[in-house]
A and B are shown apart, each in its own frame.
Chain A
Amino acid sequence: MKSGKTRRERVITDEVAGYITRVEELSYEVKVQDVMTRDVKVATPDMRMVEVLELFREFRISGAPVASKGELVGIISIEDLIRALRGGDMAAPVSEYMSSSVITVKAFHPVVEALKVFTQTRVGRLPVVDEFGKLVGIITKGDITRGLLRALQSTYQEEELRRYRASHLFDDIVSDRTSLILRYTVKARDFVRGGRASSSIKRALLRLGAHPQIARRCGIAVYEAEMNLIIHTTNGGTIRVEIEPHQIYMEAVDDGPGIENVDLAMQPGYSTAPEEIRELGFGAGMGLRNIQRCVDELSLESTPGVGTRLKMHIYLSEGREQLRERGDEIKSMTRQEMKQRSSRDDSSGDH
């Protein structure tokens, strides 16, 4: 199915997009002191350039802050060293080659502050100072990347774990038949909260690890049923969803007014919704038809003056294709057959 493919691609895109924003978020959460290098190699102003070369070589670094008696006075980089080398001036003191206007970042600031400085100034490293201006570390773009990746990895694992726990809920509980039941009470004419039940159900299914397309089909079906309870019933009704490893069963029940002609109600375009409801965008007479398209099996039982019961099944197990075929069979039944079936169901004593 076309939409199925689009959906799968989208999920990936969404996730990727999700992590990109997560990185942005993290750059506000993670502090400079969390990712900086604490063991700073420091040069002094009176050190000779040749000693700086040794320092860089020994610790495989390409720059160092210059401090005098704990006071930050400058920064010296490999570029400065190259200038000294070119001029054959390696005996000169650091103070002659260092840049003395030093940009620093505060240890307690979020890394996004350091990132801003990096993009604005093109410096390769930033000395980190504490609240008193004392040198406490050094930070490079590499430190930030590594730190963010680490943070991302751990939040990713937490999320994975949560998702894993939810989706293995059924595996962890041993019983002969495990099911999760969600119940919602829907008030008549409560348009403000309309859709609350279906939206919670859809979310629950996604958390439980249902395929997004299954969640979508359930969401649409329950939403149409929920809106019918709000629009067409006297006292509202209840929605009950029973989730099992192999199927999802959804049911919307109300106590009136009931449907005079179920076949007619099932027909696309048939609606008894009044004008003010149509103005809200309902009453196309497509709701029941939509439900039928979303579920594998549907049954609508109604007795005027007593109430309506709408039952919907979506099958999840391997036997699914088979069951789907069965569902299609039911859907392609003639109206006559449907009528027979629904009257049979009626007399089975559900209502």
Chain B
Amino acid sequence: MLLMRLLELIKLIDGEVLTEDVEMDSEVDGGCGADLMSDVLASVQPGAILLTGLCNPQVVRTAQMADVTAIVFVRGKQPPEETIALANQEGVPLISTPYGMFEACGRLYQAGLPSSEMPMSEKP
């Protein structure tokens, strides 16, 4: 499998980094797109990036529980201050992309980033 690092991923989606001290060298194992927290927790494998339209601080907590590498906010969404503050505190990188969910996921998938969404039959 092709290895993708956060830096390349950000370039692919014209991303903007919203948090401090982001390890651009972190490996991304796969991607997951979801707007429902329980969906994320149910399906995402560790080491994935999460693409979402939700911007509240809960996204950060959810990502943390699911061992998500970074969160990408689609459609140029800017999360509120609390979300950024919590992400900085917990060390979860936040990225914003101008692309919508479909295009952002499509760009990454096309570049070789596999899906990290596991079937419901598998245990987390």
B37 at the interface (CB under 8 A from A): yes
Give B24 Cβ to nearest chain A Cβ, in Å: 11
> At the interface with chain A, which of B12-20, B51-59, B102-110?
B51-59
Q: Closest residue of chain B to A283, judged by CB?
A: B36
B41 at the interface (CB under 8 A from A): yes
Q: A220-B65, A282-B36 are in contact. Are A199 and B45 (CB under 8 A)?
A: no
> At the interface with chain B, which of A110-118, A120-128, A248-256, A289-297?
A289-297
- Chain A residues contacting B26 (CB-CB under 8 Å) are 17
Q: Is the CB of A195 within 8 A of B42?
A: no
A223 at the interface (CB under 8 A from B): yes
List residues of A (10-24) whose CB comes within 8 Å of B's CBs: 10, 13, 17, 20-21
Q: Is the CB of B124 within 8 A of A217?
A: yes
A10 to B30, CA, bound (A): 12
- Chain B residues contacting A6 (CB-CB under 8 Å) are 29, 45-47
Q: Closest residue of chain A to B61, judged by CB?
A: A195
A7 to B44, CA, bound (A): 12
- Chain A residues contacting B36 (CB-CB under 8 Å) are 281-284, 286
Of A2, A212, A220, the contact of B122 (CB 8 Å cutoff)? A2
Q: A2-B118, A195-B65 are in contact. Are A294 and B90 (CB under 8 A)?
A: no
A280 to B55, CA, bound (A): 8
Q: Closest residue of chain B to A201, judged by CB?
A: B65
A21 to B24, CA, bound (A): 11
Q: Closest residue of chain B to A280, judged by CB?
A: B56
Of B38, B82, B120, B122, the contact of A284 (CB 8 Å cutoff)? B38
- Chain B residues contacting A196 (CB-CB under 8 Å) are 61
A141 to B113, CA, bound (A): 39
A13 to B123, CA, bound (A): 23
Of B52, B57, B62, B90, the contact of A192 (CB 8 Å cutoff)? B57
Q: A199-B65, A286-B39 are in contact. Are A281 and B45 (CB under 8 A)?
A: no
List residues of B (1-36) whose CB comes within 8 Å of A's CBs: 23, 25-27, 29, 35-36
- Chain B residues contacting A192 (CB-CB under 8 Å) are 57, 82
Q: Is the CB of A194 within 8 A of B37?
A: no
Q: Closest residue of chain B to A286, judged by CB?
A: B38
Give A251 Cβ to nearest chain B Cβ, in Å: 18
Q: Is the CB of B61 within 8 A of A289?
A: no
Q: A195-B65, A216-B124 are in contact. Are A282 and B37 (CB under 8 A)?
A: yes
- Chain B residues contacting A336 (CB-CB under 8 Å) are none
List residues of A (183-198) whose CB comes within 8 Å of B's CBs: 191-192, 194-196, 198
Of A21, A191, A198, A216, the contact of B67 (CB 8 Å cutoff)? A216
- Chain B residues contacting A290 (CB-CB under 8 Å) are 38, 41-42, 124
A3 at the interface (CB under 8 A from B): yes
Of B27, B61, B66, the contact of A13 (CB 8 Å cutoff)? B27
- Chain A residues contacting B82 (CB-CB under 8 Å) are 192
Of B39, B65, B124, the contact of A3 (CB 8 Å cutoff)? B124
A212 to B45, CA, bound (A): 13
A6 to B90, CA, bound (A): 22
A198 to B62, CA, bound (A): 10
A284 to B58, CA, bound (A): 15
A224 at the interface (CB under 8 A from B): yes
Q: A202-B64, A293-B42 are in contact. Are A280 and B123 (CB under 8 A)?
A: no
Which A residues are closer than 8 A to B by beta carbons? Answer: 1-3, 6-7, 10, 13, 17, 20-21, 191-192, 194-196, 198-199, 202, 212, 216-217, 219-220, 223-224, 227, 280-287, 289-290, 293-294
24 residue pairs from A and B, CB less than 8 Å apart: A1-B122, A6-B46, A6-B47, A10-B46, A10-B47, A17-B27, A194-B61, A195-B58, A195-B62, A195-B65, A199-B61, A199-B65, A199-B90, A216-B46, A216-B65, A220-B41, A220-B124, A227-B58, A281-B54, A284-B37, A286-B39, A290-B124, A293-B123, A294-B124
The 9 closest A-B pairs by CB, nearest first: A195-B61, A286-B38, A284-B36, A219-B65, A284-B38, A281-B54, A223-B65, A281-B37, A3-B45
